[in-house]
Amino acid sequence: MISAADVTFAYDGTPVLAGVGLEARSGVVGLIGPNGSGKTTLLRILYAALAPRGGSVLVDDRPVASVPHRELPLRIAVVAQEAPPELPVTVADMVLLGRAPHRSALQAYTAEDHRIAAAALRRVGMRDLADRNVATLSGGEKQRTLIARALAQQAHHLLLDEPTNHLDIHYQHEVLHLVRSLDVTTVVVLHDLNLAARYCDHLVLLDQGTVASAGPTAEVLTPEVLEPVYRVSVRTLHDEDCVQLVFRPRAPATATLQEDGQR
């Protein structure tokens, strides 16, 4: 389990998060909200890349800041937005780095490590590109390589920041279907609310650094909840297995005034 309680954070004195809480016990928890609402900042606090000004973050009932540096990757695997450095390494070697937390600094990778890395590449559809240089990959191929590295890590929890960036619609669904099938607690930042509707069990909706709504996906993705936050009109369609959303811009205030004047 990963949990956060009353988390606050600021960049150079500018508040970003104020009293935010989250609990991820199982399944897929989605972090959603407009740009600048604090989603990525909260995710980085969850894996101790940032230290909160106030509040607490626990991983498996332990303060995340107290987990030894060597142990943390065994508990939390991360797929961040930042692109990896353009190192002259193959896809296979990049994914094999996910096994590093399971080895001491001088210990060689084992046949089992190579088997696990190869299996991770197959799961993201990259096995045929194992010998390619990472620098020659497309954006989507690099993203799938990073997800494969996280899978090879075999951590208890998986945190992903916009994992569908640079992916076409086929791989967006394939990657999130894969994430949902994993037997790990997952927290994922998503902008696409329809992807969140289909693949997340619970959602935390952030708005200007606070939690506007949290709960089961179907309870958060309603017009009453979303329209004040996103400032668009929302209509819900009920697919066979989830809600899907249709958005329409609200009429500008000036247009409304003109219409009133013509009546």
Highest mean pLDDT among 16-20, 120-124, 163-167, 253-257: 16-20
Q: What is the mean pLDDT of residues 122-141?
A: 90
- Residue environment code for 198-208, b if the CB has 16+ CB neighbours within 10 A, otherwise e: bbbebbbbbbe
In the chain, how many domains are there? Answer: 1
pLDDT band at residue 128 under the 50/70/90 scheme: very high
pLDDT at 257: 46
pLDDT at residue number 23: 94
What is the CB neighbour count within 10 angstroms for residue 179? 22
Question: What would the pLDDT profile of 200-243 be if each residue is shown by its tens digit?
Answer: 999 999 999 999 999 999 999 999 999 999 999 999 998 878 88
Query: What confidence tier does 262 reach under pLDDT thresholds 50, 70, 90?
Result: low
Q: What is the pLDDT of residues 20-58, one digit of tens each?
A: 999 998 899 999 999 999 999 999 999 999 999 999 999
Put residue 71 in one of left, alpha, beta given phi > 0 → left and psi -120 to 50 → alpha: alpha
Q: What is the mean pLDDT of residues 168-184?
A: 87
Q: Does residue 238 sit within a domain?
A: no
What does the pLDDT look like over 56-102, one tens digit per residue? 999 999 999 999 988 999 999 999 986 666 778 999 999 999 999 99
Say whether pTM exceeds 0.85: yes
In this prediction, residue 258 has a pLDDT band, given cuts at 50, 70 and 90, of low
From 111-120, 146-155, 176-185, 230-239, the region with the lowest mean pLDDT: 176-185
- For residue 174, the model assigns a pLDDT of 85
Q: How confident is the model at residue 193 (pLDDT cuts 50, 70, 90)?
A: very high
Q: Is the residue at 42 inside a domain?
A: no
Q: Is residue 99 part of a domain?
A: yes
Task: Tell whether 236 is covered by a domain.
Answer: no
150 in any annotated domain: yes
Torsion angles phi and psi, residue 21, rounded to 5: -130, 155
User: Is-contact 117 82, C-beta < 8 A?
Assistant: no
Residue 110 lies in a domain: yes
Does 233 map to a domain? no
User: Do the beta carbons of residue 130 and residue 123 sit within 8 Å?
Assistant: no
User: Within a domain: residue 191?
Assistant: no
- Give the tens place of pLDDT for each residue, 105-120: 788 999 999 999 999 9
Residue 121: domain span: 83-154
Percent of the chain residues topping a pLDDT of 90: 70
